[in-house]
Amino acid sequence: MRSSAVAILVCSFLFPSAWQAYTSDKPHEVTITAGRYQLHGCFGTPDGTGPFPVMIFNHGSEKNPAPCGPPDLGYFYQKKGYAFFTFQRHGQGASPGEYIMDLQRQAYESHRFNPSAAQVEAIALQELYNKDVEAAVAWLKEQTWADTQHIAMTGISFGGIQTLLTAEKGLGIRAFIAFAPAAQSWNPQLAERLKRAVRDARAPIFIIQAKNDYSTEPSKVLGRELEKKGAPNEAKIFPKFGDTHQEAHWQFAARRDGIAIWERDANAFLDAAMK
């Protein structure tokens, strides 16, 4: 894991003055079957005929994530030539089911005198919801616009956890970029589970955080595991971003002023991992 203390200028020229979410048609909203759930999904493709390499996006713990993902992030990847595919795990947004945060709160309430047991139950919930990710990847591989040999995955916060759990399974995905995985929920049990996921990952991982995130322990601890695996695996803590933990946690990953800071490193990682 390495930390950067160099002040980085925001490269506003990377983005058009008329900010838009997608470079070609409006995003396409779709339905994805995941067991007994019907998940809301969305994809946008760059200009051209395809098939396109794909960046899959995993949202965080928010109850109502943006239906088609963060627009700035979608635009960034489509400018790079990727289709941008996102979906809402069950219980969030337009996908029916039980909301994971409600279930997690219940776990901690029922194990209030046994935090370790609550942590184990919370991990089991992450494993359960990762089945939605598996179903979404399977759906994606059937789409003619997708270059199934060049799929990458990214995610923020809970989505970063989901990204790392998926890296352990592989699923034919070539590269994984996790932003602030478990920065708000870091605990000994989850740390061990994510260390195992990183060690057993089937493809390279890049973990990204800003210095003033809620916690940088995920990058420090998981970064040591990534160092053992060698390049292009990496964890990097960037300088302070914004004025609050939440700005460093989410806006740094998903808004254009944050993207302009980490995009060079992410591009270099993707170029190496997707060869």
What pLDDT score was predicted for residue 275? 85
pLDDT per position as a tens digit, 70-109: 999 999 999 999 999 999 999 999 999 999 999 999 999 9
Residue keyed to tokens 């994805």 = 32
Least confident of 26-30, 126-130, 158-162, 167-171: 26-30
Query: Where in the chain are the domains?
Result: 2-273
Structure tokens at 100: 């994971």
What pLDDT score was predicted for residue 25? 60
pLDDT per position as a tens digit, 193-245: 999 999 999 999 999 999 999 999 999 999 999 999 999 999 999 999 999 99
More confident residue, 8 or 257: 257
Residue 13: which pLDDT band, with cuts at 50, 70 and 90?
Answer: very low
Which fold does the domain 2-273 belong to in CATH?
Rossmann fold (3.40.50)
Q: Is the pLDDT of residue 21 over 90?
A: no
What pLDDT score was predicted for residue 2? 40
What pLDDT score was predicted for residue 26? 77
pTM score over 0.95: no
> How confident is the prediction for the chain on average, in pLDDT?
92
Q: Is the pLDDT of residue 22 over 90?
A: no
Q: Is the pLDDT of residue 190 over 90?
A: yes
Mean pLDDT of 174-184: 98
